Chains A and B, each alone.
Chain A
Amino acid sequence: MESKEIKKTGGGVWSWFDPRNRQPGTWAFILNRVTGLGLTLYLFLHLMVLGLLAQGPDAFNTFIKLASSPIVLFGELLVVAAGIIHGLNGIRIGLTTFGVGVSKQKQMFYVFFAIAIVLSLYFAVVMFRHSV
């Protein structure tokens, strides 16, 4: 289903962002890839930032102060939300790969997406509680 739709819109990465005639499965596919790319970028940035630990207390503690700013916190919230969406969507893909819930995968996507929104809101409250 997904690959046919991608081909219809011309193929390639840019077709992921074409919102026309999309089914829930395609949105799940797009979300999984976009969040995956974002999380991969974050992983390597995270590794580089943690490299400050090797430079001693001043470098790391200065960064921690900067990381408490609302803009960085918002970026971290996006990472958390992307991780939750990617993880739950991954569970759905894993289950359907082994034949579990194949006929209910649309409903599974809606339920997992709703859980992702609730969890993201929870983390937003927890993360911004101390900075406001």
Chain B
Amino acid sequence: MNLQNGQKPVEAVGSWLIKLFTGALVIIVLTVHFLVNHILAPNGLLSYTEVVKYYQNPIIPIMEAIFLIVVVSHSLLGLRGILLDLNPSRSLLRILDAVLVIVGVVAVVYGIWLLGAVVAQGLKV
């Protein structure tokens, strides 16, 4: 956390650079995600059976897990930047940071569990 004018916190250079780096990764991985899931996939993955079958290729869940981590990090860092515009006090920012970290971890853990569940559904067939 950086402080300017001795009062309100502003975004640290490290957070800004991580946001920039994850932003660049989101553009690359989102393009691949979009092309693979909606253009290259047979019938655009518009039924349960197709989705489950498609996720049996091990590259797909790995790519989706990476995409999830990158996009959640970028979006929550962006949200933090907006919250900083509202000039929160340092104590409030600490609480907000904790909430954002919890939301991010829960979203990533839930997403990876979901990927595992979809892959497992395919193994039953």
Which residue numbers of A lie inside 8 Å of B, CB to CB? Answer: 6, 11-13, 33, 36-37, 39-40, 43-44, 47, 50-51, 53-54, 56-57, 60-61, 64, 83, 87, 90-91, 93-94, 97
Contact = CB atoms under 8 A, between A and B. Distances in A.
Chain A to chain B: the 4 pairs with minimum beta-carbon distance, closest first: A57-B48, A40-B75, A60-B48, A54-B117
Nearest to A54: B117
Given A47-B111, A47-B114, 14 more contacts: A6-B85, A12-B85, A36-B75, A36-B79, A40-B79, A51-B110, A51-B114, A53-B48, A53-B118, A53-B121, A57-B47, A61-B47, A64-B47, A87-B26
Given A57-B49, A64-B47, A13 B117 contact: no
Nearest to A98: B20
Contacts, number: 65
Give the dominant DSSP class at A's interface: helix
A46 B81 CA distance: 22
Interface of B: 20, 23-24, 26-27, 30, 46-49, 51-52, 71-72, 75-76, 78-79, 82, 85-87, 107, 110-111, 114, 117-118, 121
A43 B26 CA distance: 12
Given A13-B85, A54-B117, A64-B47, A43 B27 contact: no
